Amino acid sequence: MHPNSLKSVLPKKHKAPSFQLSARGRWSTWPAFASGQTVLKNHKPCCAPEERMPSNKQALLTIPKPRYLEQLESYLRKELQYLDLTQRNAQELRLQPYREIFEFFIDNFKTYKPLLSAIKNEYEATLDSSGNSNVSRLFWNNHVYSGAYHTNIFGCICTAHQKETIRALEPLKAMVTTVSEECSQQILALQEKEKVEINMLKQEKQHLLKFIDDMKEEKSSLQTQVERLQTSVAEEYTRYLNEHGARKLLLAKLNDMHNEQLNVKQRQVQDVKGEDVVKLTLALKIARQDLTKTQVKLNAMIADYGDVVPRREFESLEKKYSDLQQEMETLKKDFDQLHKEYQTLLEIQRETAEERDNFFTELQQAQRSCTPRPNWAKCSEVIPGGADRWGCLAEGKTSDQLVDVLLEEIGTRLLKEMNVFPGRGKGDKVPVYLRHVGEVKNKKLTKKDVVDILKDIWKEKIALEQQTGKRPVLPEFFLSYLQKRYGDTSAMEWSYTLYENMRLCPSNHVMSSFYNILTGKVGEEQYHIQNQLISNLQKELAACDSSNSGSLTSEQFRMALREAFPLKRRGSIQELIDASRYQLDSTEDLIDYKSLFKEDEEGNPEPFVAKIRSQYVREKQEYLRELRNNLGDLKEVNAEDLKAAFCTIDPDIDGQTLDTYIGLVYEVGREQTDQEVVPVDTALERLLAGDVRRVGPAAREESKTDCVGEYGDFQY
């Protein structure tokens, strides 16, 4: 069909052209046999209209045609002229314009559309059932207008090409049906899940309603108690007022009685003056004799007991002496402990001074041999967020860590610009979750999206382990999770996108830990044991918080850390306390321990949790360093030598734990390890990848200085 289609010639289907109307409002009855109505006389799809034209209507030849009819005839002439009649299927090509005109008739004449459509469908069904592809054309005569308006429309047949197209679309129809069934199943699964959640919410609602009723009852009870206490207070107030009045009356009576007694004494004195003088003289003489005796006795007592301490004062002094004696013993013990610590600090200071001198010498050598330190402030000009964001990223990091930060920023920016990933093929060395040939679409996820998906994968995997009692391999579970959630066709797109984001973001704990376990660099036990350590610490802190206020004093926090980590050194405990107080003022003594375990939207933990994980790795490195030193100059080691070394550096280790560590090294059953030997470096690398920890306390207290293991700065 020529590009000059019906849409470019005729008006839109929903806007029919304006017809000429008669005086009574009906359509024009312009006869179909008027002058100029023939369309390519050489092409006669139906009988000539002149044969049916009455003689009495010849006078109407001069009446102009409706504009709608002229447009249709013009379009038909052009389409027929553009056809290539030399082709093999020329007859079918000629029928196509007539079919389009008839369809346009059906669409525009709304009143007759059902009838015309039924006629068209019947003809097509008849042609399909007969299979007669040699029918040249079919025509239909239909009186479109009520009256003398006639039109001849040619039918069309379904070409072989259209039948092939229909057969090709049959598999697509089956696939649509299959997808529809899968979607229905997913909808039913979601509905079941929502039912469970709705039931849980209903139960929670009932629980809360019951709790509200209990609170209302408690409020009513308390209100009753308050009213009763108010009544009691009013009664007590009245009683105290009465007591106050009675007290005033009593004082007035006492004053009156005192005045009466004074009057009585005055009268008695007056009566004594009238007594006999001889009696008074005799009484005075006797009183003087008694005074002399009393004075002599008093002087004798003073002479005898002048140096004696009263018993009450003696007991007080004795108690004070006992307290001072205990305090002196305590201070003596503290002094001895401080003296030991002083000697230890002197030794540490000496070692530190030696290390400082060595570091200074190395620094001078490095300054002579190394390039100048780069100006990292220039990076703020190219990092999104400017100087503020670069300051947050570069705070407290070494040059090597800053290089990692730059690589991560550059990698994430390039990752967002990539639309597809190249497939890695389907070889045996390619991980199962990356086996794909061809390009894979990049989903362009944010860090938050990746972290949420990885957390959900851990959640589903742990739930499956609890249900089945078996631990599935993470790579296979990772692929099955993506296939179950996003379908088989999109699973590889999500797998490649998540893998590349994890590979380029080592600073994010959730992404880096999942990547290390997924690629086999670290055993999955490390992830679970670190989470268990943090969970145990939360339980200890909650147990110390008897008031459930969410805060603890520094001493309570230290005791909880000691209970949760009994093998940690004093310096490590102090590091955790310092990390817990990074947001507090120096004058505050309360630590909000619940806020220490929060995470931001990208899964990055608080410095306190990060310090716990870094100490876990550091302690494992120190433990393996002691093991390496105990092995001495051995290049290869067997199971017996390795067991002896573990028992030497950790005497409290039990047999089951020892067998677990040996199994990590030899990666075979216990009965096959006795005769095998492996290189020492290989054994230490395998132990570093697994969960290896000290079981008992260390033989001696080491310095608090942080050190880097000889097996690298691996951080989980």
pLDDT over 50 (residue 449): yes
Least-confidence region, from 137-151, 357-371, 434-448:
137-151
What's the mean pLDDT in 483-502?
89
The residue among 504 and 32 whose pLDDT is bigger is: 504
The residue among 408 and 544 whose pLDDT is bigger is: 544
The residue among 382 and 656 whose pLDDT is bigger is: 656
Q: Given this model, what pLDDT does residue 332 score?
A: 93
pLDDT over 80 (residue 16): no
Confidence of residue 190 (pLDDT cuts 50, 70, 90): very high
Residue with tokens 């199962």: 432
pLDDT over 60 (residue 251): yes
Distance CA 437, CA 422 (A): 8
Please compute Rg for the chain using Cα positions. Answer: 52
- 687 closest CA partner among 670, 706, 662, 707: 662
CA angle 407, 410, 416 (to 5 degrees): 135
Distance CA 614, CA 618 (A): 6
What's the mean pLDDT in 272-299?
83
pLDDT over 60 (residue 704): no
Q: Given this model, what pLDDT does residue 44 score?
A: 39
**Are β-strands 636-638 and 677-679 bridged in parallel, bridged antiparallel, or unpaired?**
antiparallel
Q: For the packed helices 447-468 and 509-518, what is the interaxial angle rounded to 10 degrees?
A: 50
What's the mean pLDDT in 489-516?
87
What's the mean pLDDT in 111-139?
67
Residue with tokens 């990848």: 689
pLDDT in tens, 453-489: 999 999 999 998 888 888 888 889 988 999 999 988 8
Q: Given this model, what pLDDT does residue 313 score?
A: 84
DSSP character at residue 384: T
Q: Given this model, what pLDDT does residue 563 score?
A: 87
Q: Given this model, what pLDDT does residue 206 score?
A: 93
**Are β-strands 420-422 and 151-154 bridged in parallel, bridged antiparallel, or unpaired?**
unpaired
Q: Given this model, what pLDDT does residue 33 score?
A: 43
The residue among 149 and 30 whose pLDDT is bigger is: 30
The residue among 614 and 698 whose pLDDT is bigger is: 614
Confidence of residue 372 (pLDDT cuts 50, 70, 90): low
Q: Residues of the chain with pLDDT > 90: what percent?
A: 12
For 227, phi then psi, to 5°, come to -60, -40
Q: Given this model, what pLDDT does residue 373 score?
A: 67
**Are β-strands 420-422 and 439-441 bridged in parallel, bridged antiparallel, or unpaired?**
antiparallel
Mean pLDDT of the chain: 77
Confidence of residue 204 (pLDDT cuts 50, 70, 90): very high
3-state secondary structure of 599: strand
Q: Which of 258-264's residues contact partners 24+ apart within 8 Å by CB, and which partners?
A: none
Q: Given this model, what pLDDT does residue 209 score?
A: 93
Q: Given this model, what pLDDT does residue 385 score?
A: 66
pLDDT over 50 (residue 711): no
Using an 8 Å Cβ cutoff, are 496 and 442 in contact? yes
Confidence of residue 682 (pLDDT cuts 50, 70, 90): confident
- 570 closest CA partner among 351, 341, 330: 341
Least-confidence region, from 85-89, 520-524, 605-609:
85-89
pTM: 0.46
DSSP character at residue 422: E
pLDDT in tens, 30-74: 444 444 444 444 443 433 444 444 444 444 455 677 787 888 888
What's the mean pLDDT in 569-592?
76
- Token pair of 601 as six digits: 């939207």
Q: Given this model, what pLDDT does residue 200 score?
A: 93
